[in-house]
Structure formats: C-alpha cells, structure tokens
Structure 1
Amino acid sequence: MNIIVTGASKGIGYDTVLEFSKNKENKIIAISRNINKLNDLKKVCYEKYNNEIKIIQYDITTSHIENQNLLDILENIEFVDIFINNAGILINKKFIDLTQEDWITTFDINFLAPVNLIRLLYPKLKNSKSAHIINISSMGGIERTQKFSGLSSYSSSKAALVNLTECLAEEFMDDNIHCNCLSLGSVDTEMFRAAFPSYHASVSSEEIAQFICNFSQNYRNLFNGKIIPIAISTP
C-alpha cells in the first residue's frame, strides 16, 4: 500500500508510521516540519523493520501548501491508498484570551491544511482501488460531548473536520474513496500532557497507532462517512 501520514515526527503520527512500516510492502511518506525527528523515524523504521520510508520536511499550513518536495515525490507515485490526516495543534487558552492569530493558526493546521492536502492528493486517491482517508479528530469535536475550558479553538476546528469527513464521504462516493474520522479521547502524547498536565491518560499513542493502522487497512469496506469515538475517557 502507498500511505501518507502527516504530523509524523512525534506522538501518534510517529507511532503510526512505525506500525505501518512493520509490513515491508507498505510504501510510506512521513510528513512533518521537524526534519531531525523525521530522520530519526526513518532510521528506526529501517533498523527495526527494514522499511525505507520517504520523509518530507513540510509546513502543512495553507501558505506553504505547494511544497515542491511533496509535489516531486507525488509525481512518481501513481496512487495513494491511505492518507492519515494526523497533524494538529492545540492552543490552550480561555476564549477571552484567544487572539485572532490563535484562531487562524488553529484552523489553518487542524482544518484548512487537511482540506488542501486532500484536494492535492485527490487524483492519486482516485487512482487507488481502495482509497481510505482517515481524519484524526477529537472527542471535543463531536456534538454533545463534554467540553473543556481553554479548548474552544481546538474543539471548534476538530468539529469542522468531523463535518468535512461526512461531506467528503458523499462527494467521493462515485470515486470509490472512503473517508472516515477517528475522534480520540485521552491519549498519552506530548500535546495532551501540555493541555492537561495534572491528568494521566491511560491509553498510549502506540495503542492508538495500532488501532489506526488496523482500521485504515482492514475496515475500509465497512465504514464510510463515519465519526468513530475512540475513548476510554475525555479527561
């Protein structure tokens, strides 16, 4: 399978690439702004699983969407089977303290970047016989779930991603592209610990990565346009 994962330098994205790389038949493109951590990931994938992944230092925000390194690699790929929209940002501020720049940054990374990347990858996804887009959202982005002070911009951006998933599932149906959303609860990542320093998440990023890989590879035919909560707790 040809697989692309964003936000691959740490946390869930890093562990998801590692999990995919266990199968040497998987050809993986790992995307992040942090080239040093990407180089580390590439080394680990090769040393552990003999999988030579491709890495791209890439700013996914809208002002940098036409990154030439990504375009050059895509020229040599006929199709993309799995696209994991994982990259995200969490700005933890009370609503009254959030600036216009905070809102723009959050929506650029958590919503507009996935929009533009899906649009960019659409011809490659369409060429696949079993394309599957996985948007990584949050329990905070689902209607009628518990919300938390300081996460209004984050939760709002993830709610937009949830809605986009449902829309794209309908629009891409004739193209045989399935689009689903995994809405995560408490996961022990650097981003989560920064947002909730006093809370210990019982689910590891490795466990979530295993679920993401299994779901995206094996359950695509059973789900389309679904918002699936993956949570023991939402702290």
Structure 2
Amino acid sequence: MLKGWQTVTHTKLSGMSKKIIVTGTSRGIGLQLAQQLVQEGHQVLALSRNEDSVKALNSDLISSFSFDITQSADLKKVEAFVEENWSEVDILIHNAGALVNKPFSDLSAADFQTVYDVNVFGVASLTQTVLPFMNAGAHVVTVSSMGGIQGSMKFPGLAAYSSSKGAVITLSELLAEEYKEQQIAFNVLALGAVQTEMLEEAFPGYKAPVSAKGMATYIADFALTGNKFYNGKVLQVSASTP
C-alpha cells in the first residue's frame, strides 16, 4: 500500500454507488463536489495539492493524497491507488484549473506554460492514466469555461486561461469519437461565472450569480447521468451571455 492517502474503511454501499475521481478539491466547486458525492454514497478519490480541506470532511468514502496534476510521479500514485483499492473508475471529473489574469502584451511564455500544464496537458495525462480502468458506461467530464467558447468577453486578461479552456473542449470532442466503440463518454461543461475563491482572486469584488455549492450540485448530477444523453458535447452552463 502506498503511503500518503487516508485509509478507507469501505461501508456497505448500494449497487448504485460509483467510483469517482475529482481534481481540484481543496476549495470551491471541487470541495463541494467531493462533499456532495460522498453524501450520496459514492466513493471519491479527491485530488489536490492541499488535502487538508478534504480530510476535514472526515468521511470514510473519501480517499485523498497530495496531488499535482503536472507531476508524473503523482499520476503514478493515482494508478497505484486504483489498482489496489478500486480496480475500476466510473467517473473522472476534471475540475482543477490554473488562471493567470494579465493583458496579453504582458503574458510570458512561462505564464502560458503554467496555465496549459494544468488545464490542458494535465487533463490529457490524467485521462490517459485513468482510461485503462474505465469500462463501458464510464464518463469523463471536463469543466471548461464560457471563455473557451466566446473568448473573454466579460473578463479581459484571460488569453492564456480561455484559450486553454478552448483546447480541452476540442480534446474532449476528439476523445468522444476515439472511444465511442468502448462506450466511454466525454463531455464538457462550459461554466459561466461562479462565486469561487479563484474568481475573487482574479477579479476582486466581482459577484457571480451562482454559488460554488449550487454549481457543484449541477456538475455532480451531470457526471452521474449526463452520459445517458450526451457524448462529445459541450454544454454552456451560464445564465447570461457572455
């Protein structure tokens, strides 16, 4: 057994219980997602660089360890965990994200690299890690942004962030086609503004119309049921345009 994650005492679960991986669970939507999914009786592997918030939930259904999506060694931790504890994964939710708010003229190559390492390359690498454990009926959900569809119409300064969110939309569409014979679904939720810590840090004082908890409820339901109706699709989850 690898060290570094919480020991899970598996309770007797209903046949509807799913094995779900969620990234970016230290705060905001990801933390709310983890909490809601375990309250519904699902087993969750919660992945973030800081696992303190997840541990504070004190649930036997949550497993966690410190995880950096850009590090190959941490991807191997995920592989080892699934092999030793679950053997399969039903749902993968890509929620982790990196954001740099700068005018395009001020963005450096390092800024772009930082954002793309998490939002694009990390998503691709974790998907490659988890796919061998997914069977027919599995669902990969990627949290993107309306900025990935419309550009930063509402929030200037997000050239790196929004372009990366556009890239994962195309990636998911391609994977849906590539894995349709295996009946593994890939869908994207392009979110509008949500009141999270990341939004507050990037745009202090802006008040979004949707709470992290409210959006987490929507994403959880979609992750559990959306693959029955959608594959290779991008759903715009926003009450306003832009």
The one-letter amino acid of 1:192's match is: L
Match of 2:192 in 1: 185
Distance 1:17 1:234, change over 3 A: farther
Match of 2:39 in 1: 22
Match of 2:80 in 1: 72
Distance 1:161 1:79, change over 3 A: same
- Name stretches of at least 5 consecutive residues in structure 2 with no aligned partner: 1-17
TM-score, normalized by length of structure 2?
0.88
Query: Which 4+ runs in 1 deviate beyond 6 A?
Result: none
The one-letter amino acid of 2:211's match is: S
User: Would you say the 8 A contact 2:31–2:53 is kept in 1?
Assistant: no
Distance 1:32 1:80, change over 3 A: same
| Superposition deviation, residue 60 in structure 1 | 0.4
> In 1, Cα distance between the equivalents of 2:239 and 2:202?
18
> In 2, Cα distance between the equivalents of 1:143 and 1:168?
22
1:172-212 deviations in Å (ceiling 9; x for gaps): 10111000000000100001112221321120010111011
Distance 1:144 1:110, change over 3 A: closer
Query: Is the partner of 2:73 in helix, strand or coil?
Result: coil
Of 85, 94, 97, the match for 2:106 = 97
Summarize the alignment of residues 39-54 of structure 1 with structure 2, pairs less than 5 Å apart.
39-41=55-57, 43=58, 46=59, 51-54=60-63
Match of 2:123 in 1: 114
> In 2, Cα distance between the equivalents of 1:17 and 1:233?
27
Distance 1:35 1:104, change over 3 A: same
Question: Which one has a larger percent helix, Structure 1 or Structure 2?
Answer: 1
RMSD: 1.6
Match of 1:36 in 2: 52
> In 2, Cα distance between the equivalents of 1:214 and 1:37?
22
| Superposition deviation, residue 108 in structure 1 | 0.2
Match of 2:133 in 1: 124
| Superposition deviation, residue 147 in structure 1 | 5.5
The one-letter amino acid of 2:178's match is: E
Of 209, 223, 231, the match for 2:230 = 223
Percent of paired sites with the same residue = 39
Match of 2:15 in 1: none
> In 2, Cα distance between the equivalents of 1:203 and 1:70?
31
Query: Is the partner of 2:33 in helix, strand or coil?
Result: helix
User: Would you say the 8 A contact 1:169–1:179 is kept in 2?
Assistant: yes
